[in-house]
Amino acid sequence: MRLEVKLVSRGSISNRPTMRLFLLTLLTMTAFAANSLLNRAGLAEGAIGPAGFAVIRVLSGAVMLWVLMGLGQKVAPKRATPDWISAGALATSLLGFSLAFRTQTNLAKTDSSG
């Protein structure tokens, strides 16, 4: 019979699933709030249209995913077949949010000037 002793550091965040989940949730919610503020700022002056802004968001997201995948894996994942329904849903969502932020910004300008 072997007796195994595992030493666990109580100070490590990764050993506390509840704290880790809380911190990751906090980070995610902060990122969503920052995304909303950046969307409003990006569309506020009307220097770029909703479609152009959506393209920038998709490209920057793709670059970030590529970087994160490169950091996490040493072997490239198997390339999946495209899911065109999901791609269409993503495009609709991006354009919808960009149009909504632009409309909301225009309504705010109208209310404050009138």
The model's pLDDT over 31-51, given as tens digits with 9 standing for 90+, comes to 888 877 877 777 777 777 777
Residue 81 located in a structural domain: yes
pTM of the model: 0.51
- Confirm whether 93 is domain-assigned: yes
Q: Is the pLDDT of residue 20 over 50?
A: yes
How buried is residue 73: exposed, middle or buried, by Cβ count under 10 Å (0-12/13-18/19+)? exposed
For residue 87, being part of any structural domain is answered with yes
pLDDT band at 5 (very low <50, low <70, confident <90, very high): very low
- d(C-alpha 55, C-alpha 86), whole Å: 16
Q: Could you tell me if residue 27 is inside a domain?
A: no
> Total domain count for the chain?
1
Distance CA 63, CA 51 (A): 18
The answer to whether residue 13 sits within a structural domain is no
Nearest one of 43, 44, 47, 34 to 95, comparing CA atoms: 43
State which residues form the domain around 58. Answer: 46-108
Provide CB contacts within 8 A for 95, sequence distance 6+.
Answer: 50, 51, 54
CA 100 to mean position of chain CA atoms: 18
On whether residue 113 sits in a domain, the answer given is no
Question: Is 21 a domain residue?
Answer: no
Question: Is 35 inside any structural domain?
Answer: no
pLDDT tens digits for 69-101? 777 776 666 777 888 998 889 888 888 877 777
- Residue 112 — very low, low, confident or very high, per pLDDT cuts 50/70/90? low
